[in-house]
Amino acid sequence: MAALVSSHLPALQVVLALLAAPVCLLLRRPNASWAVATAITWTLLAVSIALLERVLQSGTIIYALGGWPAPWGIEYRIDLANAFMLVIVTVIGSAVMPYARASVEAEIPVERIYLFYCMYLLNLAGLLGIAITGDVFNLFVFLEISSLSSYVMISLGRERSALTAAYRYLIMGTIGATFYIIGVGMMYMVSGSLNMADLASLLPDVGGSRTVMVALAFITVGLGLKLALVPLHMWLPNAYTHAPSVVSVFLAGTGTKIAVYAMMRIIFTVYGGMGVFDDFGLGEMLMALGIIAMIGASAVAIYQDNAKRLLAYSSLAQIGYIVLGISMASVFGLAAGIVHLFNHALIKAGLFMALGCIFLRIGSVKIEDMKGLGKAMPVTMAAFVAGGFGLIGVPLTAGFISKWYLLQAAIEKGWWLAIIALLISSLLAIIYVWRVVEAAYFQDRDKKAPAVSEAPVSMLVPMWVLIGASIYFGINATMTMDVAIGAAEALIGGIQ
Amino acid sequence: MDVINGFPGLMNYWIVVFLMMTGFYIVIAQDNLVKKIVGLNIFQVSVFVFYITMGKIKGGTAPILADGTEIYSNPLPHVLILTAIVVGVATTALGLAFVVRIRDAFGTIEDDEIQAMENED
């Protein structure tokens, strides 16, 4: 029995959440569906850690779904990059679950709570599916599972703008996904395969074909929409701002990150042997967009009055950093991007959790309403400050580690523009983090405002677990950096 | 004349491009939320036609084992597009459900009017 389960771990990673979602739908009771979602998420965390350990010990795991070997069947191919992404998604999910209970009760009507957990599990299944699959069309299906469920989760927000935010995200997201399958179709036309590893060996033979390059263009734009690469980011600020707090936490930590991973996988593994960086100029294009995101989005973040929207724009800037790492097309640059992906997932999820605590207590996340919260909610605001330091990249935080490696990778490349942009963007981050800190610590709360107490422990602990982890990985970065370098080597394998 | 002789040949791809651009234009240019979804559907249908066309082989029949047939069309793109159709239907249903809720909340389904109201909020 144990051997059977252990040999089917890769399938469990997706199937468990997919099966648990309708269970929540049948249970209908808020607490019961929360318990199911939590149990499943934690089980998935254990599975993903087991998979990561197995990959670290014995190398790539190849799992033929239903016993049909690739390239005929769908294959789950788990190397270090997939395994790391699985761990990132399940870690954020596991931290979100205990936090979700109190926050969801306060923000989502009781009769819809079980629907929220159902959608959350579907979303989790989709995200894990994207991370684990070795088939480009299968990736599209999971991409849409996760996207459709996140549209629904965003629309559960209390303001009516949540509906329009979800609608606009649906339009943009569907265009992105359709662009992606156009690209997949073109790859299939010339190669007759949908398996990533198979495509990687077949595509160089038809390298001169314009179809293959147009396919890459379609896929890059399509995934760019999903990962909110500036200038394809228009859906993100509204979606993060109007979604329920828990949804913002989960999406900020996982949704865009997994799309970034998909882009890395396509560019480096599938197109690895094509010289897309030398002949096609992909590196320069991505670098330019990354730099625009880093500086532009940070500058816009400074002018926001709503702290959630401020963090949303900051997310766009941080995605810019990761894309900059991709654009370097070196193992070191890509590893820096992956480390930043991990660190930023922890930091941004932690920060959105702090805003969720604040929203629970004062019913607003406007910066002007956050005056004096440093005294009223010291534990929450301390977490926000610690996370803010991570965004800026203060030494001893995880943000410093990833920016440091990005900086080194940029120096190695001699990309002076990128180095300057890194520094400017960090300075801008100081300003937008400072705006919140100033309101919370250096202004007094209005006399007439009702008294505020600290958020419940069930929300504070997950928040500090994530923020604490981001500080731990800032002090001790060897483990994350080792895994990230391994992941980058696994992704980039095709080039060498 | 090649286009006509080679029918369906490249003709299908011209239809795909035409439908794709039509749908895309409607999504961008229309303010009416339902029409945007219609545009999205046309856009997606163009991709379905694209996949189905690439699976077709000249003179090929359905991939069924039978005497006297040797050339088969490739069934895989057709199967893929069944999946994509399902995804498209789900997306359309969800999008229209949003439109219903948006009309309840805003009293209109014109994007410019909604944006004006959101700016006042």
Average pLDDT over every residue of A305-332: 93
pLDDT at B5 over 60: no
The confidence score (pLDDT) of residue A174 equals: 95
Whether B12 has its CB under 8 Å from any CB of chain A: the answer is: no
- pLDDT value at B119 more than 90: no
Let me know: does A19 contact A25? Beta carbons within 8 Å: no
Chain B residues within an 8 Å CB radius of A177: 87
Whether the per-residue pLDDT at A52 is higher than 90: the answer is yes
**Do A315 and A240 contact (CB within 8 A), yes or no?**
yes
CB contact under 8 A, A185 and B47: yes
Higher per-residue confidence, A279 vs A219? A219
**Structural domain harbouring B78:** 2-120
Q: What is the pLDDT of residue B8?
A: 53
Res A35 pLDDT > 50: yes
- Residues of chain B found within 8 Å of residue A159, distances taken between Cβ atoms: 121
Q: Using CA atoms, how far apart are residues A105 and A112, in angstroms rounded to an integer?
A: 10
User: CA nearest B79 in A: which residue?
Assistant: A137
**pLDDT at B7 exceeding the cut of 60:** no
Q: What is the pLDDT of residue B68?
A: 78
* pLDDT at A344 > cutoff 90: yes
How much is the average pLDDT of A14-31? 92
Please report the pLDDT score of residue B66 as a whole number. 79
With beta carbons less than 8 A apart as the criterion, state whether A393 and A429 touch. yes
Q: Hey, of B57, B81, B87, which one would you mutate to test binding to chain A, going by the most A CBs within 10 A of its CB? A: B87
CB of B94 within 8 Å of any CB in chain A? yes
- pLDDT tens digit string along A224-274? 999 999 889 999 999 999 999 999 999 999 999 999 999 999 999 898 877
Peptide bond into A30 cis (omega under 30): no
Residue of A nearest to B88 (CA): A174
- Per DSSP, the three-state class of A136 is helix
- pLDDT at position A419 over 50: yes
List, for residues A430-456, the tens digit of each pLDDT value.
999 999 999 999 988 877 777 888 889
Distance (Å, rounded) from C-alpha A116 to C-alpha A290?
34
Q: Please list, residue by residue across A270-286, b when 16 or more beta carbons sit within 10 angstroms of its beta carbon and e when fewer do.
A: bbbbbebbeeeebbeeb
Contact by Cβ (8 Å): A310, A368: no
Residue A151 sits at the chain B interface (C-beta within 8 Å): yes
Between residues A27 and B121, the one the model is more confident about: A27
* Residues A346, A398 contacting (CB under 8 angstroms): yes
B45 touches A: beta carbon within 8 Å:
no
Percent of chain A past pLDDT 90, that is, above it, reads 70
Task: Check A164 against B83: CB less than 8 A apart.
Answer: no
For A10, left (φ over 0), alpha (ψ -120 to 50), or beta?
A: alpha
Instruction: List the one residue out of A280, A274, A251 whose CA is nearest residue A89.
Output: A251
Pairing of strands A75-78, A61-64: antiparallel
8 A C-beta contact, residue A14 and residue A128: yes
* pLDDT at residue B6, rounded to an integer: 53
> Which SS3 state, helix, strand or coil, does residue A487 take?
helix
Average pLDDT over residues B27-46: 95
In chain A, what residues touch B51 (CB-CB under 8 Å)? 181, 185
Within its chain, how far is the Cα of A47 from the centroid? 19
Closest CA to A234 of A312, A286, A179, A295: A312
The pLDDT mean for chain A works out to 91
Q: With contact defined as beta carbons under 8 Å apart, do A155 and A164 qualify?
A: no
Looking at residue B9, its pLDDT comes to 58
What's the sign of the alpha-carbon dihedral A384, A386, A389, A393? negative
B91·A141 Cβ contact <8 A = no
**ipTM exceeding cut-off 0.90 for this assembly:** yes
| pLDDT tens column, A66-97 | 888 878 889 999 999 999 999 999 999 999 99
Q: Which of residues 20-39 of B touch A (CB under 8 A)?
A: 24, 27, 33, 36
- Whole-number pLDDT of residue A142: 95
The pLDDT of B9-21, averaged and rounded, is: 88
Beta carbons of A171 and B40 less than 8 Å apart: yes
Q: Does A151 contact B102 at a Cβ distance shorter than 8 Å?
A: no
| Domains of chain B: total | 1
Q: In chain B, which residues have their Cβ closer than 8 Å to the Cβ of A188?
A: 54, 77
* % of chain B surpassing 70 pLDDT: 93
Using a CB-CB cut-off of 8 Å, the residues of chain A touching B106 are 160, 164
- Here the CATH number for the domain that contains residue B71 is 1.10.287.3510
pLDDT at A1 over 90: no
pLDDT given for residue B120 in this prediction: 82
Sign of CA dihedral A279, A280, A284, A290: negative
Cα torsion through B92, B98, B104, B110, rounded to 10: -70
B-facing residues of A in 113-142 (CB < 8 A) are 137, 140-141
Tokens standing for B74?
């490739």
Within an 8 Å CB–CB cutoff, is residue B84 touching chain A? yes
- Residue A495 binned pLDDT confidence (cut-offs 50, 70, 90): very low
- Measured between alpha carbons, how far is A367 from A435 in angstroms, rounded to an integer? 8
Put simply, the answer to whether A167 touches B54 (Cβ < 8 Å) is no
* pLDDT grade for A209, boundaries at 50, 70 and 90: confident
Average pLDDT over residues A296-311: 94
Mutate to test the interface with B, among A175, A194, A198 (most CBs of B within 10 A): A175
Query: What pLDDT does A429 receive?
Result: 94
Average pLDDT, chain B: 88
Q: What digits encode the pLDDT tens for the residues B55-113? A: 888 778 888 887 877 888 888 998 999 999 999 999 999 999 999 999 999 999 999 99
Dihedral (CA of B115, B119, B120, B121) sign: positive
- Length of chain A equals 496
- The predicted pLDDT at position A496 comes to 40
If we measure between CA atoms, which residue out of A382, A402, A372 comes closest to residue A473?
Answer: A402
Which among A144, A167, A175 has the least Cβ separation from residue B95? A167
Provide mean pLDDT across the span A125-151. Answer: 95
